[in-house]
Amino acid sequence: MDLNYNENQLLYVETVRKLVKNDITPHILEMEKAHRFPWPIIQKAWEMGVINLCIPESVKGFDVDVFSSAAIIKEISYGDTGIATSAMCNDLANVVISQHGTEEQKERFLRPFVEKPLLASFCLTEPGAGSDNSLMTSFIAKRDDGNYVLNGSKCFITNASYASQFTVLCKTGSPAGSFMACVVIPAPSVTAEDIPDVGNATRTIDLPTGGRIVIGKPEDKLGQRLSNTASVTFEDVVVHPDQIIGNRRFGFKYIMDVLDYARPMVAAIGLGLAKRALDVTIAYTAERKQFGQRICDLPVARDMITAMWKKVELAELSLIKAAWKIQEKAKDAGIYASLAKNTCAEAAVFCSTEGLHLHGGYGFTTDYEISKLARDAHIIDIYEGVREVQNMIIGREIV
């Protein structure tokens, strides 16, 4: 395994670092306090080709490998994990199409994201079904004309207020059904010109094929305020057979495939935040003096900075191995995806918490970035499977 970036990967990393340095980190506190959706950053990232990473070469014209994807997401997250989450959600929604869709479905459902800076939503979580997907009640029922009708509600859906397409996991036949399907619901395209900022408004989408989608008011969250999150309700949405991805009974398998892909990407988000927390803490403790010397020269502070650095480095190694396993399509890729997700989330929470502590009282104010990082970190430990679920997966595999 070569741990060095190749020429293409270096180009991606340098491109994203310029975006972060010029457009994100200098304005991040101002952007977060404004609580406006970061369309300008999304558009620039789209123009640079550093979102929609899972779209295959047959549609996009070039491939982005797993290592490059993780590196790109890590660098965006160094600037802001909310922006990275919104960008990564396109892949969360579209990777199942890329992996299991027909060539016609790939062209139909993925091509729009190549042509415009559009956003997608992955609709899995429900109010009564978080970690246990078997409890979901959204379902499709077949009509006499051969089409299906989708009904149900999802919650905590990233990009929902601005999405132009929804990838939905649902039961087949009835809410009590044993099988799950994956369906794609295209909606009228939405860009920054159409909805610059939804604010606290709801959104209703009347679909030309029948039925409607109701998007709830955006969630007021502890952190990641630059990422949009809202509920989504599907009311009598007509689904044609060619909107069903793969086998309509294999939805659970597709969930696992999506999450195995997504967990290292979430790990990359955690790693980016952990690195940022370490860097801002080193910068602060090198500047501020107490007891006649820089805080970073005090043994207790240096020990903590060392512990933060170790967390970051070990997290990066776990991410590299997970990315390699996924790229090689190894049978045990899932366990390493879970390991990377847990390790990087732990690094994010640890580094932001201890970094805030080393900032002292200043860290508890919103004038310092470390307070934002501490708030942002906690969701990384939760979404795409809480740490306990990852430990269940790891425990099941090793015994």
Q: How far apart are CA 370 and CA 399, in angstroms?
A: 40
Whether the Cβ atoms of residue 228 and residue 162 lie closer than 8 Å to each other? yes
**Residue 136: closest CA among 152, 120, 149:** 152
* Per-position DSSP letters for 28-75, written without gaps between them: HHHHHHHT---HHHHHHHHHHT-S-TTS-HHHHSS---HHHHHHHHHH
Alpha-carbon torsion (332, 335, 341, 342), positive or negative: negative
Catalytic residues: 384
Q: Which residues pair with 215 in a beta bridge?
A: 203, 232
Q: How far apart are CA 220 and CA 43, in angstroms?
A: 24
Q: How far apart are CA 70 and CA 75, in angstroms?
A: 9
Helices (H), 328-399: 333-359, 369-380, 387-398
**Residue 100: closest CA among 256, 324, 237:** 256
